[in-house]
Structure 1
């Protein structure tokens, strides 16, 4: 009797309520994950773009053009006094001031031209000479037919009655209303420099010229200023159109109408010497004006051909003498009729014969404005102290213009090119954003900062890349798994060290230690590799029963005492090496014999400190990339007869090359953006020198130092944002190139 077995497979129902619910929940999770990943990735991209756009928003005003708009016009205040010899305003650009041809000093309301105060010149006659000491001192000087000079000063007292600002202008006479008798001949030309302890005058008559110095002494009883006079005659130069004294009262310039300049050294009143003779003008041009820029260092020479040239003294290395040198010029098609200097910046404006006003900045060599604002009758212009207003006088009266010119000192040349700054012997790349005096010429070259960033990253990578990659190769490929599980976390833990701690240790401990043991630092570079190779050779010749005491892959532990002993030996021998080979002073040998500048906080310190910070990043990614190479590839290579080293070089490294390259690029990005280590361990000097014994200043460190101190909205503030944008673009370009190379390597070796 036989029985049949039912072998039918039970049917599976995939549409049960539980499975439907499960699939629905899983679908929701998948869609949620997809959406979350998309939103997260998009948010990261959006955040980066917003950072980029914000940087551009802050930087854009630097490169916007300036504007000039007519605000109001009115008849010449007190026009019966004659045309203006000098035209300016007070700080708030609410009260105008002009000196008329008859010597009267007139204050007027810049809102409507009404005369606020008219001070009649105390001298009975019309002045025959006039000079402005400087726009910032507010002092002016008159010369007269009888050989007398009168010094006046326009001052503005600000009060707040009923909570409203009230400006009260007045005239002071520092040396009395009677003036000072300085000559027995009519004064035709005059220049003056006044300081707290002395005043120097240069005067010229019809056939005679003199320089007079008054030394000031305060009478302790009457508290009056007593003047002690020194006088010396000067060679008379016919056709002299302008006299000019330098701000330090050292040099006197006589300039003829054809541009022939005679320079006198008047430091020693008993020995005034003719220092140099120059021709300032080209071709047949005639002198229009010669005046000083802010700081009284640069001469600005304007002529009828439309050219304004800048000259200042440059020290000659051979003779150690200062030589008046042509620096740069600007040209325009029309003849110039007037020039005005900005009171607080290295800028100036020109007025040409067609009524066009052009505004320039000498440092950046940038023309920011060139507009026709009047007719051909325009004869004089003057800036308000803040350079936000411009006064122009023509046959119709006075016109006041609002000027929006916030960042004239910024140009492509001033940011990335060599600029010849006042007091420098040659054009340089310089970053110096502030100084102690008000006559400072800002220096905003980003080249030293970009160079310092690359220099710091180079020396850091020079130390970190070989050690990190070689360590990762050995750890991933040759080291015992048990030891690898201990070593890798320890090295990765180094990345958790705050960089401010590393910078603190590098600046306050390692830098002085390295300076004192400089011979040890260089001997370690030689002794340590040789010692390790020698120990490896000796170990390989040891009996097998001794070598087998150390498990395979644990041999690196034997190198720890070797490295410690060799390092201690080099440090201990440092004084001996220094004494026998460098006369006991290796730093003096480097500085004096080799001619290399040595700073305690230098690129060598940064290389060690920042390299220590970058090593964990490069090591971790490289080690993962090598360890992730499929074992089948290495086993196949070994099975075909290749050695471990051949397998590593020809199979493992090419396969892992995309990951290794990414590790190097990420490490470089870390080095480029590092702030605290370079801030604390480099001396923070913005210089361009690849010398390993000198410091640097990086873009990131500069931002950390200067952003908190900068004035919001100023040129300095926006240039710092430009530096941040440059750093952003640099890292973006490097990462883009790195990703492109990584993808190329991945395609090339992905088939292995």
Structure 2
């Protein structure tokens, strides 16, 4: 080959080599950019899903039309689709309107027989049943109802006024006017309580259904009620027919236990001002009361062992209404929110659980008389003092969230005190959603802590021994074997942890505690014994192979602990260590707990930490350790003073990556913890993590609902947590590299 051909071949080789370098660099760069782009896409997609949670409520003006009524309204309501409105006047005139254009659909007069309406009570927005207290001592019960049909494939809503218990009025008092009235209708009974001449009067009608004809008959009985020492302004009965709330115009209240027929609690609702309005929140547990000074309070009954009655009416939250007192106060039909309009038309929207004012806006409607909110909380209907009706469209999709609802203690209905609670669903429709991230974040950190407590010492010590002390031939077999553990699916580990390990630990608790003590002691005793054996005998085991001697020792200690578990339990704990922990030590024990998770998840995390840490230690240049040994340092001194500082960035990275794996683990904690969202550091209690919570609930939630978006918010919190931890870890790693990189 000529010299020119040699040069041409060399040039071509150099060009091809350069091309390969460019291709490789481009591919690696593109891959890195692709990874970063994918992470950014995940970040922005999570933001896209959770941003509606923080969108402000808004209101849009609709149409205005005349009521054409001869008396002020007692009650306004709308049907499910907010297409038809119902208005009941003080004279008993019932009207239905088409809300799209204000057309009057029908007018019906209640069968009052010439008597006057003195009081009004709504059973619930869901049932649409209402009661009217009459001047002759009777009570008329009616219901506004809507029938849907589809003539010519078009939806037609036909409103009507019905009488579920007949058009005949119920007698409550003998000729004395019913000044105040309350009604509660359940599957078992109908309960009506009224006030006549300052006295409480009650009647209950027990419902008896015929098995064959399914006809319901009512049997009447009198309800015994205590005498009052206040002048009632309003009375209300809770849906369970347990509590009667008697409210005075001065803000005083009496809580009456209808089962015991005694006054359970008494006091005042406001420091200043008088009672303006009172309404039940959805479910009838919370009582919303408004004063004429612009304050709204949420109250509900809680247990109180210090009281003789065992209960008290507790003030839970207070809300301030802008521009003075409320002319109208309505509660949402399907959520724990309410709306208030002041006498000059200032609208305010609130949500109780999140303790938020969602909207404050002047509606410019003048003086307001009464108001209604649609069942879907997407429309308001307001009647002004001038006799006109005006509609407003509401947009308030996700009012349940606030910083305090997510991270602070919240006093939920029927709870004795504020607490951190995650409970996103229940069987009943009036459930109060509880979206506290605190127990989930705590559970995430708890699971990661116990997993790292098990994995970190074992993995780091194993990495040190394997990389620095173990014989090369044995290392070539041990390292791949440990790394192979990482290929085991976590669902298998979770399955084994939940169905085998958890019952095994519960059955052999003394063995578990014995292992924590006897295993390290036994290994140290064996090491000391080995050092005292004759040198000629010890030479039979080459350096770097001593770890194999510990295998039978560890197995023997485990066998002895397990076999002696039952005798120890019978002799020291009366045959049941779990009961001893619970009853004598006050430590609750769940079968699937943090100890099980720590062992199972530690087993999953060990290969990750071991592999990275072992590579970091083994990659320390040999001349550093050889130089240290040449200067007279022992192998341990070389390890601690030279090798470990040099490998510390890699070891720290291994720990952080292992922790990230533990924080994001799903299947093991899903199957081995019991998934109880509680805040308890007890190693024998379970927990629920953010990742497991998303996996459990995302398949059951309604798309675009508040619950759905809250789960995406949980994923975003987990994403941010991982990002912050990794950023801190990288900063520490770079400082360690700068400090020890010059060794």
The whole-number CA distance in structure 1 between the counterparts of 2:389 and 2:140 is 27
* Cα deviation 1:359-409 (Å, max 9, x = unaligned): 100000011111111343111111100111111110251111111101111
Deviation at 1:96, TM superposition (A): 0.7
The whole-number CA distance in structure 2 between the counterparts of 1:488 and 1:233 is 80
For structure 1, the residue ranges without an aligned partner over 5 or more in a row are: 1-9
Whether the 8 Å CA contact 1:216–1:228 is kept in 2: the answer is no
1:255 aligns with: 247
2:741 aligns with: 750
* Cα deviation 1:287-317 (Å, max 9, x = unaligned): 1111110010111110111100011111124
The whole-number CA distance in structure 1 between the counterparts of 2:267 and 2:588 is 38
In the alignment, structure 1 residue 178 sits paired with structure 2 residue 168: yes
* Cα deviation 1:163-200 (Å, max 9, x = unaligned): 21111111221211012122111111101111011111
1:489-568 aligned at under 5 Å gives the runs 489-568=480-559
2:709 aligns with: 718
Q: Which 10-residue stretch deviates more, 459-468 or 31-40? A: 31-40
Deviation at 1:680, TM superposition (A): 0.1
1:142 aligns with: 132
2:328 aligns with: 338
2:573 aligns with: 582
The whole-number CA distance in structure 2 between the counterparts of 1:219 and 1:489 is 76
1:83 paired residue among 72, 84, 88:
72
Whether the 8 Å CA contact 1:123–1:178 is kept in 2: the answer is no
* Cα deviation 1:609-641 (Å, max 9, x = unaligned): 000000000011111111111110111111111
Whether the 8 Å CA contact 2:326–2:343 is kept in 1: the answer is yes
The whole-number CA distance in structure 2 between the counterparts of 1:579 and 1:740 is 53
* Cα deviation 1:508-561 (Å, max 9, x = unaligned): 000000000011001001111111111111111222232122222111111111
The whole-number CA distance in structure 2 between the counterparts of 1:214 and 1:634 is 93
The whole-number CA distance in structure 1 between the counterparts of 2:687 and 2:210 is 52
Whether the 8 Å CA contact 1:133–1:192 is kept in 2: the answer is yes
Whether the 8 Å CA contact 2:444–2:663 is kept in 1: the answer is yes
Whether the 8 Å CA contact 2:290–2:325 is kept in 1: the answer is no
Whether the 8 Å CA contact 1:138–1:154 is kept in 2: the answer is yes
Whether the 8 Å CA contact 1:338–1:351 is kept in 2: the answer is yes
In the alignment, structure 1 residue 612 sits paired with structure 2 residue 600: no
In the alignment, structure 1 residue 694 sits paired with structure 2 residue 662: no
1:304 aligns with: 292
With normalisation by structure 2, the TM-score equals 0.97
Aligned length: 737
Deviation at 1:26, TM superposition (A): 2.7
1:324 paired residue among 313, 316, 322:
313
The whole-number CA distance in structure 1 between the counterparts of 2:108 and 2:508 is 74
1:232 paired residue among 224, 233, 243:
224
Whether the 8 Å CA contact 2:186–2:239 is kept in 1: the answer is no
Whether the 8 Å CA contact 2:69–2:387 is kept in 1: the answer is no
2:235 aligns with: 243
With normalisation by structure 1, the TM-score equals 0.96
**C-alpha RMSD of the superposition:** 1.6
The whole-number CA distance in structure 2 between the counterparts of 1:666 and 1:338 is 58
In the alignment, structure 1 residue 94 sits paired with structure 2 residue 80: no
In the alignment, structure 1 residue 107 sits paired with structure 2 residue 96: yes
Q: Which 10-residue stretch deviates more, 452-461 or 170-179? A: 170-179
Secondary structure of 1:158's aligned partner? strand
Closer/same/farther in 2, CA of residues 221 and 644 from structure 1, 3 Å limit: closer
* Cα deviation 1:666-698 (Å, max 9, x = unaligned): 000000000000000000000001000000000
The whole-number CA distance in structure 2 between the counterparts of 1:706 and 1:209 is 48
The whole-number CA distance in structure 2 between the counterparts of 1:251 and 1:396 is 37
2:122 aligns with: 132
For structure 2, the residue ranges without an aligned partner over 5 or more in a row are: none
The whole-number CA distance in structure 2 between the counterparts of 1:176 and 1:434 is 38
The whole-number CA distance in structure 1 between the counterparts of 2:200 and 2:557 is 79
The whole-number CA distance in structure 2 between the counterparts of 1:215 and 1:224 is 10
1:268-279 aligned at under 5 Å gives the runs 268=260, 272-279=261-268
The whole-number CA distance in structure 2 between the counterparts of 1:168 and 1:397 is 23
